[in-house]
Amino acid sequence: MAWNLIRRKKRDMPDGLWIRCEDCSRMVYKKEVEEGLHVCPKCNFHFRILARERLRILLDPDSFEELHGEILPGDPLEFVDREAYTDRIKRYQEKTGMKDAIIVGKGAIEGRPLLIAITDYFFMAGCMGSVVGEKITRIAEDAIRLRLPLVIVAASGGGARMQEGIYSLMQMAKTSAVIAKMHEAGVLYVSVLTDPTMAGAMASFASLGDVVIAEPKSLVGFTGPDVIKETIGASLPEGFQRAEFALEHGLIDMIVERKDLRKTLKRIIDYCMPEESYTGTAQ
């Protein structure tokens, strides 16, 4: 009888109330996680979130205005693997509500204007294709022209997008070049690394910030630890390529929890680009 009661209670529990933490493997109450900005209340693991949710968390309400939204992905190689690239793109567009793996625009933090770009892991693992590279380039050029600080939040675990071949690989050089122009112009660029930021993104724009921030326990690096271990059979240090390891070895400047990221960005912007240095707002 007791076993039947347990089974009945389990069967009557609504789906979706609990989720398993990817880091500590404990079951946590979904509502508590959402109210805590999608952070595990048990171990402080920062869950992956949609780009538009991150905009909501970081920016002042109703301050975001998307820019360069007219740029859409193409299929220059007419690529087909398990499915046609055009079909894959359409499927992810329907799944995420995004046109590609990035959204860029202008916004404000506590009234201070800035430009922002966010890649979305849930769109093909945030991999960098022509659209990602072009939008980063254009928003960086906007930052130079307007002398507005730029924040790029990376959630790109998929590297260069193989379905676009060399067109995708070219985006590494392209984004690195425009970030170099920002440095020369003295315009602030803050890079925020989230879980995961790997491969082509990390080897280009994501690692080039004047200030590089990471969320706790984020996987940041080039080749993932599992691939390295399988390839060369090496025993890797504990926590290899996690944010804490990167901070210890000088790859990043600081680790900031999600709840503190907004005020940290505001403080960095105030210090590095006083308001009197701004020349305009994005059009």
The two structure tokens encoding residue 218? 């984020």
Residue 282 has pLDDT above 70, yes or no: no
Number of other residues whose CB lies within 10 A of the CB of residue 17: 10
Tell me: pLDDT of 13 over 70.
no
Return the ∠ at Cα 236 (arms to 230 and 242), rounded to 5°: 105
Chain-centroid distance of CA 271 in Å reads 24
Q: What local confidence, expressed as pLDDT, does residue 183 receive?
A: 94
Question: Tell me: the pLDDT tens digits for 85-111?
Answer: 899 999 999 999 899 999 999 999 999
Stretch 159-169: mean pLDDT: 86
Q: CB–CB of 100/122 below 8 Å?
A: no
Q: Which of 120, 95, 116 is nearest to 105 (CA)?
A: 116
Taken in order 264, 155, 217, 248, is the CA torsion positive or negative?
A: negative
Contacts of residue 161, defined as CB under 8 A and 6 or more positions apart, other chains included, come to 124, 127, 128, 129, 132, 168
Collapsing DSSP to helix, strand or coil, 268 comes out as: helix
3-class SS at 214?
strand
Question: How would residue 275 be classed by pLDDT, with cut points 50, 70 and 90?
Answer: low
Mean pLDDT estimate for the chain: 85
More confident position, 283 or 128: 128
pLDDT of residue 278: 58
Q: What phi and psi, each to the nearest 5 degrees, are found at residue 247?
A: -65, -45
Whether the predicted pLDDT of 125 surpasses 80: yes
Q: pLDDT by residue (tens digit) across 144-155?
A: 999 999 999 998
Taken in order of first residue, the domains within the chain and their CATH numbers are 1-45 (no CATH), 49-274 (3.90.226.10)
Q: Which two tokens stand for residue 33?
A: 């996680």
Report residue 8's pLDDT band, with 50, 70 and 90 as the boundaries. Answer: very low
User: Around Cβ 58, how many Cβ atoms within 10 Å?
Assistant: 22
Q: Pull the structure tokens for residue 114.
A: 């800035």
The predicted pLDDT at position 283 comes to 43
Q: Is the pLDDT of residue 253 over 60?
A: yes
pLDDT at 135 over 80: yes
Cβ atoms < 10 Å from Cβ of 151: 27
Run of H or E including 123: none
- Please report which confidence band the pLDDT of residue 23 belongs to, taking 50, 70 and 90 as the band edges: confident
More confident residue, 177 or 230: 177
